[in-house]
Structure 1
Amino acid sequence: MATFQDRFKLKIISAAIIAASSFGAQAQTNTGSLEEVVVTGIRASLTGAMDVKREASGVVDAISAEDIGKFPDTNLAESLQRITGVAIDRSNNEGNQVTVRGFGPSFNLVTLNGRQMPNSSALASTPISRSFNFREIAAESVSAVEVHKTGKAHMFTGGLGATINLKTSKPFELDEFTAHASVKGVFEPSVENGDNITPELSGMISKTFADNKFGVLASFSHADRNFHVDRIGTQNGWSQGYPGQASPDTSAINTDKNPTLATWRVPTVDLDNADYERTRQNGQLVLQFAPNDELTATVDYTMSRLEENGDLNRMSFWFDNVETGRADENGTIINPARSNDELNFWAWEYGFTTENDSFGLNIDWAVNDELVLTLDTHSSTSHSNPGGQPAERIANLKNPFGDAAPVHIAADFSNKLPTVSYDDSALPGGAYALDNIEGDLYQERGNEVKNNIQQTQLHGVWQNQEDGALTAINFGLAWTQNKVDAISIYSANFSLGNGAIDLTGLDLSFTPGDIGFEYAPVFSANQFIDLVEQQDLKNPTALDKNGVKEDVNALYVSLDFETEFNNMPIRANVGLRYEDTEVSSYTIGNPVIGFNWVSPLELSKIYASEEAADTLTGEYNHLLPNFDFSVDVIEDLVARVSYSKTIARSNIDAMYPGTDMHTHLSGGPFKANQGNPDLLPFESENFDFSVEWYYSEGSYLSGGFFRKKVDNFIALGETQRAINSPQGVLTDPSANPRAGCPAGSVADPVPACTSQPSDPAITWQIAEPQNLNDSLVDGWEFNIQHMFAETGFGVIANYTMVNSDDRYDVYSLENDLALQGLSDTANLIGFYENDDFQIRVTYNWRDKFLLASGVEPTFTAAYSQVDLNASYNINESVSVFVEGINLTDEATHRYGRWENQLVDYQQFGQRYNLGIRTKF
């Protein structure tokens, strides 16, 4: 939570307090306007955005390129966070997804030119979101972004927080000939391996022919980036009652806040060094044909390719059976310790590709002066890891375990960042001696996901050519099919210790460590797994197949009105959308029929020889009304009120019917996830009220209140129960050890060490998404945008406050519903420009928020960042620019219930861009 001083400074900075739009401009170019001097740059962009906001019937904000191919920020999400009420999540020091008015990425629909786009992820830890990932498209490829915060009958459903529409250029919207190109170098001082200066290239060319009857536009961008990440963190997060001493010291616990003396432990303390390289390519081809003034046909193809590879090494202490430890006043075990243990030396290799392709056709027909019909259809696919290769390859080394070679380990969680210590004096040569390091395990995992969306919409507008308050009737029908097929890939061997693998040939070295780790390892997971294969120690790969098909049919109609009351201009829009949705889902795989106890810690799964399938179906329908009303109370003062009902569907992978048993160590814990195909969508009733004062050219002040009442809210519920297999209930062979066990391997089990019907049934902690009760979110948005006359100086400041009773109570053991992403946000932007020079400095702040809320929470600490952008026009066609991102070198901090329950602390460093841009 921000301190009182921090909040006071923000409130002084945003004296009038501050809300609406950031860098925006016209939703599209008006080719029919009178000839005038063309103004580009920051001021023109902001003035255009202000006009979009002012003329809208609902609550709309906009951003656009300040010039052809020049978006305000290097990343679309970074630009969107400048808008009041919009916050972002960061990954690897760049924005990747957005939160609007406290509703996270899965509650905001992102469209491209009004079309819903698919998303896929190869990482096993990343769910398949319905929301587009902004890092997959270059900012130079986009001409404008519209953020619709209120529901509309004609818009596709899915945006509880907002519907965000990315717009790209078309030939008929530009001059007869238009072209631009830019080249820049990206400098990342933190890079340790690879080039710390990488290129980004982009270009676009557009030409119309035959008196604007034909048009063609082609654009392309290529970006390479290398970056380094330093991380201190934990694996699997904090848990109540994680295996440890039966009676920890709880004398310091404040029983007023923790009357049950509950304690929390964490399995690991980790120190990571990681290097990544990423290549992104975007391209678009647009063909337009207008045989006459009444008919325009557009065919377009949009593609993106994202490839990312990474090497990570981790030094780790595992506290999977704490012997001693003392709780602090909250119940956090702050000094766990364990004797006769080991150090762990990890390596990760990341490698994944995402291919996005979209084919579209749009036909616009002006039937007559009153009626315009538009047919729009597209087929878009996101395909991650084509060919089904693992996205992650993981290897672990360790010291010999047990009394023969003891290493005593301990950690201190008294402060925000932990420290560790160890005693290896009983181990001849020490824990880091190569002779005292052996193999432990490998894992290969990932997803191949193919997500296809097909949509067809027929839209009509009837415009009243006579007098009357009714100005237009909008109507249409739409069909959408979202089809996802996913294959999860997994192979592992946890029994490579005790000399099972010969490490001769493995290149292993050490670098200086931190937080108490004397050294950090340097070796390759790929090389380790090559040794596993060469020595015939690799286990078969398990493939689980899941899929969802969702068909949505929709009808809608809306009416536009314009009139006056007591000389006050009034605009209104009234609409109704009907949707019918059919869902079918499947899981296909070899079911688990038992466990094989192969090492002191590992219970490996035993699979049935034949596949089995689970299938389920569902259906639901909705009526979604909307009402927008605005009135010019006096000249330049606009008041508006909006009501709408919107829905957002659950994540795709939450509807898989299968069960994933993801934690099954000897002695527990036994944890599993199960999907729920019967999930209903979130339903939200939305109310908005705002007042806007447009007091000068390019300047305005606004304030608004919003309220969202959400039903069918989805959260994880946990049950404890046994799991049945085709051969009966799953049992634990390690609970009543038989002679000679553990023994064997995954590929060659010892029958005495496998599950028997007489063994105790395993009680699983099963997390399942469920529709829970309603929730209420409300808040205030304030904004000021001010141009200082003709001086060239300007400022934007905004502040958003979001409130809900359904916040996570860290002192409660029963948080049935806690909203993720709720946080206050603020921005302060100052700029100056003249005919040849412009500079912009941006400060962005976001208060702490709940990132995830499973059985235990993960919070992201308050974060602020300062960015800079400056450019100079050498002549009318050529300009040079420099950009600085995260100038103050901020780090991200994620934690459990309290700040000393560390989950992640990541340091990325600054990033600088220097480039040249041309236009014709």
Structure 2
Amino acid sequence: MLALAGYPMIAAAQDTSSTMGNPGPSTIQDSPSTTDATTTQSTGVADGTDASGDDIVVTGIRASLRKSIDLKRDAQGIVDAISAEDIGKFPDTNLAESLQRITGVSIDRSNGEGQFVTVRGFGPEYNLVTLNGRQLATSIIGDGNSAPVSRSFDFANLASEGVAALEVYKSGRASVPSGGIGSTINIRTPRPFDKMGLRGSLSARGVMDTSQNGKNDITPEVSGIISNTFADDRIGVLLLGSFQERHFSANQANIGFRDGYLGSENNWGSLAPAGDPRAANITNRPDATDVYQVPQNGGYDVVNGKRQRINGQAVLQFKPTDSLTATVDYTYSRNTIDIRDNSVGIWYNHGDTSSAWTDGPVAGPVFYTERFGAGETKDLAYSASQTSARSENKALGGNLTWKAPGGVTMVLDVNHSTAESKPNSPYGNSNSVGTAVFGIQNQTINFENTLPVISFNTYAGIDPRNAANIVPTGSAFRNSYFRDEINQVQVKGHYDHDGGFLDSLDWGVQYTDNKVRSAYSVLQNDTWGGTGGDSAAQRAAAAALLPDSLFNLTSIPDKFSGLSGSNDPNIVQSFYSFDLPSVVKLLDPAYKICGGNGQCLIPYTTDSRVREKTIAPYFQFNGKFEVASVPGHIIGGVRYETTNVTASALVPTPSGARQNSQNEFNILFAGTGFTSFRGSYQNWLPSVDFDIEPVDSVKLRASYSHTITRADYGSLQGGQRLDTLFRVGGGTGSVGNPNLIPYKSKNIDLSAEWYYGNESYISVGYFHKNVANYIGNTVVNTNIAGITSPTTTFNGVTRNGPRYQAALNALGANATFAQIRDYIGTNYPGGVVNGTIIAQPNDPQVNFVIQTPFNSDQTANVDGFEFAIQHNFWQTGFGTILNYTIVNGNRNYDNRLPSSVSQFAVTGLSDSANAVLFYDKNGLQARVAYNYRKGYLAGAGVNPTYINTYGQFDVSASYAITKNIGIFVEGINVNSEDRGGHLRSNNNITFATKQDPRYSAGARITF
């Protein structure tokens, strides 16, 4: 519903064909209006006039805007599109960043780039992405802390040069594949028959990301595409290749918090109650009914990354007769990312603390301090982490379109696509090695600035800047794997009727076989007190393996310059960073942190499979009418889907537990077991689109539809999973449910549009969604497999095993974990192994909170308004596009309730806006664009997660040296907008990320 212009220029339009509702290679691609929209956009190197003959059609921005208005006005249903300006030239280098220009579309960014798309408040898991109308296999490896489960599509995997158009179906339609409550987003790739003859382009640019720590690397982006037709335009071939490399940094403060407690609660980790001597150290303590959250850990991460993306396409088209067209296409993408993260961090034991708080009813921390005795040898952690993953996507499709006599068109379309994400390192996809300096006297986090200020003091003789004091500690090597394979067959028919109310009919059936595998394992060494042991001698022996030359002193304040708090004199000034592979090679032979042979990728302990088989027939009619000389159109149809689900899982079998520290325990496993479950569901999905033009230049629209979104794979997977790490309060786990039915939404769309000029319009839209079948989690408190623990707390009651209690009796109630462990090791042979206390059968059983997903009776209403205006300022060359989306829901999170109260809330809802000013005249194009997204609820578990309001400026310009040669420059996030998030209170800052502009310059040749 908008058209953005300049370089890069966006011409957003809607499908004008009432008969071509399915966004596939046989429908929209062959629609004359859509083909024109793809091939007549500004190239960015033109003089603003039309070309003729066999040359590529070139128009200026204003003509492109006029074309987009024509497409929008003639459309039926709510369908927005962004088209390539020319072959191989999409408006933005990142597809998600192009989509955010559309009214109602906002994005999530990762490492400074657009990654996921939210439409009308519904996040990436609620939006289906197709490729040329075919369901596209997707894979995301996740954060590395658990097995991947998401259906979301990562738009960073695909290069924009290989995209002809992005089509966003906001309203449901029978002929459009199901799966997106928010939208169905179709990625349409170019075809040689889009425009006959030889055409192509070559583009090269250099990119400098100014976020790089201490570097100014300029990295390349190159692409080339060529298309030609032969044999009297009966045969067409298209080839495309692109390569992109980017170097970046993403420095971030991260703070973890405990659950939300009421001021009246007395739990481990809560504030000291009245009567406790520590209560005198609390300023403005939360009242009994106030909710608050205390910090658990905090750190600064200095992150350096590299991403490489390779894309390729090959298309062969053959038209043996005027009525028969065959197309075979192959799309390939590979995206590799390598991130090195060095961090300094602290961890709270919630002993001798002092703090200050804001006023309730949701109290936030002003500061939180803890003091430690000299004998506690509290640690300051220096860690090195590495994220290294590769995602590979392959899609092979075939299409046969026959235009039969009598206005009938038949289509056979087949598709095989795979997506695979896996580690790209011998150490796994997400791994970390810890070191520490022991001897912290006190530590503090201050929350009065955008950047939480972490500070500490050490005891005399302990210098954290002396590398000789660094001791290796724990480590974790995580191995995640995700693969999605889709085999799909579609048979479609279309009938054009001449005259009368009936304009055309569409019908078809689609069969989809979706097979998903998600696997995970972790090799974790919980020696956080010191690799090899936590005695002074053991720590010294381990530290001797790490030469001082291995460590590099890294400053902190300059990594966060511009964020308030970075200049605080109390902030951690520096820490030691190091190379993870180098430390692993030194420690593994002696301490076998990778098995002693460097084999960090252990076999999968969690291996889940989900298979969905869906058959979906549909029927749709398209009518046109006139009432009192007022023209109108109506499209009505229904789609029926039946899906069978098979879910199986190989999961580890728990055998016991161990205690690693005062509040850290691990489950021990022995072997694995396989389980399998089945489920099924059916859906009827009706839809109707209606529009009239009561007066010239004014169009009114109304749509009603049912749409669905399927549950994530983790909710469907069979098998019980236990989180390896648990606390003194017990453990957590989950079990899937393959009988879950999809989320279902009943949608209403209304819009009014006034086209008051050839290139100017105003539109107002309203949407309403009533969503049911929300997936909730029912919780069962139970013991699993008889797992015990040396000490555990449940419902506020602490139970100690006989050995643990004997140690407390001998040492006193304030004994440290190290003292208790040493006592047990001395008096109970076999009770301590590798510095951890091994649980025994006569210890108290551990309570586990097991979550099982189910379709709740909760429903949610989401509605909103979309406003857009496009205006050209006569013949000055200047123009503007403005849009604003308001999204509201009736299910909000109540921050005043503690974590113990279950809540249901809809995430992702937020207002968004775009403002663009462009210029196009005499071969010069320029654009200034601002994108805004209001803060929103990103997660709604036992604690809410909020993302702060974000606003980014982008600029670009291009100049046509000749008709076929142009140069361009581009700036992304030129206002250096930073990102942040929080929990219940704005003072509960969870992260603050420093971001800087990214610039590029290059040239493009077309022929």
Partner residue of 2:358? 328
Partner residue of 2:296? 267
Equivalence map 1:156-195=2 (5 Å): 156-192=177-213
1:409 corresponds to 2:450: no
Asked whether the 8 Å contact 2:450–2:992 carries over to 1, the reply is: no
Three-state SS of the structure 1 residue aligned to 2:353 is coil
Measured after TM superposition, the shift of residue 869 of structure 1 is 1.3
Give the counterpart of 1:213 among 196, 212, 234. Answer: 234
1:504 corresponds to 2:545: yes
Give the counterpart of 1:775 among 860, 880, 893. Answer: 860
Measured after TM superposition, the shift of residue 245 of structure 1 is 4.7
Equivalence map 1:877-916=2 (5 Å): 877-916=964-1003
Partner residue of 1:4? none
Partner residue of 1:523? 578
Asked whether the 8 Å contact 2:546–2:583 carries over to 1, the reply is: no
Distance 1:898 1:106 in 2: 27
Asked whether the 8 Å contact 1:503–1:531 carries over to 2, the reply is: no
Cα distance change of structure 1 residues 242 and 697 upon mapping to structure 2, 3 Å threshold: farther
Partner residue of 1:243? 269
Q: Provide structure 2 residue ranges, at least 5 long, that are not aligned to the other structure.
A: 1-9, 16-27, 41-49, 262-266, 373-377, 558-565, 596-601, 793-799, 808-819
Cα distance change of structure 1 residues 729 and 272 upon mapping to structure 2, 3 Å threshold: closer
CA-to-partner distance for each residue in 1:642-695, whole Å, 9 max, x for gaps? 000000001112222334433635524633344333322100000011111112
Cα distance change of structure 1 residues 730 and 361 upon mapping to structure 2, 3 Å threshold: farther
Asked whether the 8 Å contact 1:733–1:754 carries over to 2, the reply is: no
Distance 1:170 1:752 in 2: 63
- Paired AA for residue 167 in structure 1: R
Cα distance change of structure 1 residues 881 and 545 upon mapping to structure 2, 3 Å threshold: same
Asked whether the 8 Å contact 1:323–1:336 carries over to 2, the reply is: no
Partner residue of 1:143? 164
Give the counterpart of 1:862 among 946, 949, 952. Answer: 949
1:721 corresponds to 2:781: yes
Cα distance change of structure 1 residues 211 and 823 upon mapping to structure 2, 3 Å threshold: same
Asked whether the 8 Å contact 2:869–2:881 carries over to 1, the reply is: yes
Q: Provide structure 1 residue ranges, at least 5 long, that are not aligned to the other structure.
A: 1-20
Distance 1:429 1:821 in 2: 47
**Deviates further, 638-647 or 193-202:** 193-202
1:395 corresponds to 2:433: yes
Distance 2:145 2:97 in 1: 24
- Paired AA for residue 223 in structure 2: S
Partner residue of 1:680? 741
- Paired AA for residue 132 in structure 2: N
- Paired AA for residue 92 in structure 1: N
1:428 corresponds to 2:461: yes
Partner residue of 1:876? 963
Cα distance change of structure 1 residues 757 and 375 upon mapping to structure 2, 3 Å threshold: same
Give the counterpart of 1:763 among 834, 844, 847. Answer: 847
Distance 1:454 1:778 in 2: 35
1:153 corresponds to 2:196: no
Measured after TM superposition, the shift of residue 410 of structure 1 is 1.8
Distance 2:914 2:394 in 1: 35
Measured after TM superposition, the shift of residue 481 of structure 1 is 1.4
Partner residue of 1:72? 91
Measured after TM superposition, the shift of residue 533 of structure 1 is 1.7
- Paired AA for residue 351 in structure 1: S
- Paired AA for residue 471 in structure 1: D
Partner residue of 1:480? 512
Equivalence map 1:798-813=2 (5 Å): 798-813=883-898
Distance 1:25 1:690 in 2: 14
Measured after TM superposition, the shift of residue 199 of structure 1 is 0.3
Partner residue of 2:666? 604
Asked whether the 8 Å contact 1:510–1:522 carries over to 2, the reply is: yes
Distance 1:218 1:360 in 2: 15
Give the counterpart of 1:585 among 647, 651, 658. Answer: 647
Asked whether the 8 Å contact 1:798–1:827 carries over to 2, the reply is: yes
Measured after TM superposition, the shift of residue 605 of structure 1 is 2.6
Asked whether the 8 Å contact 1:53–1:62 carries over to 2, the reply is: no
Asked whether the 8 Å contact 1:188–1:909 carries over to 2, the reply is: yes
**How many equivalent residue pairs?**
888
Measured after TM superposition, the shift of residue 509 of structure 1 is 2.6
Measured after TM superposition, the shift of residue 437 of structure 1 is 2.2
Cα distance change of structure 1 residues 661 and 789 upon mapping to structure 2, 3 Å threshold: same
Partner residue of 1:554? 616
Equivalence map 1:591-630=2 (5 Å): 591-600=653-662, 602-609=664-671, 611-630=672-691
Aligned-residue identity in percent: 34
Distance 2:784 2:168 in 1: 48
Measured after TM superposition, the shift of residue 835 of structure 1 is 3.9
**Deviates further, 229-238 or 813-822:** 229-238
Measured after TM superposition, the shift of residue 779 of structure 1 is 0.6
Measured after TM superposition, the shift of residue 22 of structure 1 is 6.1
CA-to-partner distance for each residue in 1:827-847, whole Å, 9 max, x for gaps? 111111124111111011111
1:469 corresponds to 2:529: no
Cα distance change of structure 1 residues 577 and 807 upon mapping to structure 2, 3 Å threshold: same
Distance 1:185 1:686 in 2: 45
Measured after TM superposition, the shift of residue 388 of structure 1 is 8.9
Distance 1:368 1:332 in 2: 72
1:534 corresponds to 2:589: yes
Three-state SS of the structure 2 residue aligned to 1:679 is coil
Cα distance change of structure 1 residues 871 and 305 upon mapping to structure 2, 3 Å threshold: same
- Paired AA for residue 605 in structure 1: I
Cα distance change of structure 1 residues 851 and 620 upon mapping to structure 2, 3 Å threshold: same
1:513 corresponds to 2:556: yes
Distance 2:229 2:992 in 1: 52
- Paired AA for residue 667 in structure 1: V
Equivalence map 1:254-333=2 (5 Å): 260-326=289-355, 327-329=357-359, 330-333=362-365
Three-state SS of the structure 2 residue aligned to 1:356 is strand
TM-score w.r.t. the length of structure 2 is: 0.84
Partner residue of 1:852? 939
Asked whether the 8 Å contact 1:732–1:761 carries over to 2, the reply is: no
Three-state SS of the structure 2 residue aligned to 1:48 is helix
Could you say what the CA RMSD is over the residues aligned between the two structures, in angstroms?
2.7
Asked whether the 8 Å contact 1:71–1:143 carries over to 2, the reply is: yes
Distance 1:122 1:823 in 2: 27
- Paired AA for residue 522 in structure 1: S
Partner residue of 1:14? none
Partner residue of 1:706? 767
Asked whether the 8 Å contact 2:259–2:942 carries over to 1, the reply is: no
Measured after TM superposition, the shift of residue 42 of structure 1 is 3.2
1:196 corresponds to 2:220: no
Distance 2:764 2:196 in 1: 38
Partner residue of 1:355? 392
CA-to-partner distance for each residue in 1:307-338, whole Å, 9 max, x for gaps? 11111111111114343233432333433222
Cα distance change of structure 1 residues 528 and 472 upon mapping to structure 2, 3 Å threshold: same
Three-state SS of the structure 1 residue aligned to 2:976 is coil
Cα distance change of structure 1 residues 387 and 889 upon mapping to structure 2, 3 Å threshold: closer
- Paired AA for residue 722 in structure 1: T
TM-score w.r.t. the length of structure 1 is: 0.92
Measured after TM superposition, the shift of residue 30 of structure 1 is 3.6
Asked whether the 8 Å contact 2:388–2:424 carries over to 1, the reply is: no
Measured after TM superposition, the shift of residue 602 of structure 1 is 4.3
Three-state SS of the structure 1 residue aligned to 2:354 is coil
**Deviates further, 242-251 or 650-659:** 242-251
1:822 corresponds to 2:860: no
Measured after TM superposition, the shift of residue 93 of structure 1 is 0.9
